C-alpha cells in the first residue's frame, strides 16, 4: 500500500521511507517488496513458535548444490540469536553474488553457531541426491556447538537425528 513517499508495512503499520540520498523517489517493485516482507514475516513465525514452545537453541538448515549435474551437495545449519532480525537474508538463489558474499560475512559474524556438511559427487551417485542431501544436513547439524534443541529444515524430509524438527517446504 502506497502512502505519500513511503510504504506502509502490512504487519507493523509503520510508514517505511522510499527516498534515497537524492530527493527523487527510488524506483522499486512494490509488489516484490511486499512479497519479500510477507515471506520474511512468515518464515520468522516458525522460529517464534518454536521459542514459544520452550525451545531455546534453534537451527535453520538448508542445502545448496542439488541442481547441478556435477559437484558436491553442501548443507548449512545456522543458529542466530533469538531476537535476530535481518530481512536481507533470503534464498541465496535470489541474491546477487556480491550481496550473497556480504551476507555470508554478516551471518558468520552474527551467528551463535554454524555447521557445514558436504557430500561428494561419488556418494551422490551411489545413494541418490535426496539421501546425500539429508546426509549433508545431518553432518551440518552434528557440527553445531553447543547442541541444538530444535531444527527448522528447508524441505519436506526430516533428518535422522533425535532432535525435534519441523520441515518447511519452500522454507528458504
CA 49 to CA 105: how far, in whole Å? 27
Q: What is the dihedral of CA 57, 113, 165, 45, to 10 degrees?
A: 70
Q: Block means of pLDDT (10 residues each) for the chain, length 172 residues?
A: 42 42 52 57 76 93 79 94 80 77 91 96 93 96 94 93 90 59
pLDDT reported for residue 171: 61
User: Which residue has cell 527523487?
Assistant: 24
Tally of CA atoms within 13 A in the half-sphere of 92 that contains its CB: 16
Q: Please, which residues bridge with residue 160 across strands?
A: none
CA 97 to CA 108: how far, in whole Å? 16
In this structure, are residues 29 and 18 in contact, taking their beta carbons and an 8 Å threshold? no
Amino acid at each position: 500500500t502506497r502512502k505519500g513517499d513511503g510504504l506502509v508495512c502490512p504487519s507493523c503499520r509503520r510508514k517505511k521511507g522510499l527516498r534515497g540520498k537524492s530527493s527523487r523517489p527510488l524506483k522499486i517493485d512494490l509488489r516484490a517488496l511486499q512479497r519479500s516482507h510477507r515471506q520474511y514475516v512468515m518464515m520468522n513465525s516458525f522460529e517464534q513458535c518454536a521459542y514459544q514452545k520452550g525451545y531455546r537453541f534453534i537451527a535453520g538448515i538448508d542445502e545448496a548444490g542439488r541442481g547441478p549435474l556435477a559437484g558436491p551437495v553442501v548443507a548449512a545449519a545456522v543458529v542466530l540469536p533469538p531476537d535476530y532480525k535481518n530481512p536481507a537474508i533470503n534464498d541465496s538463489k535470489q541474491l546477487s553474488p556480491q550481496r550473497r558474499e556480504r551476507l555470508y560475512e554478516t551471518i558468520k559474524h552474527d551467528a551463535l553457531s554454524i555447521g557445514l556438511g558436504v557430500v561428494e559427487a561419488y556418494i551422490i551417485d551411489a545413494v541418490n541426491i535426496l539421501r546425500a542431501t539429508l546426509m549433508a544436513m545431518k553432518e551440518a547439524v552434528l557440527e553445531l556447538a553447543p547442541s541444538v534443541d530444535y531444527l527448522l529444515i528447508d524441505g519436506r524430509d526430516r533428518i535422522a537425528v533425535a532432535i525435534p524438527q519441523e520441515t518447511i517446504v519452500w522454507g528458504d
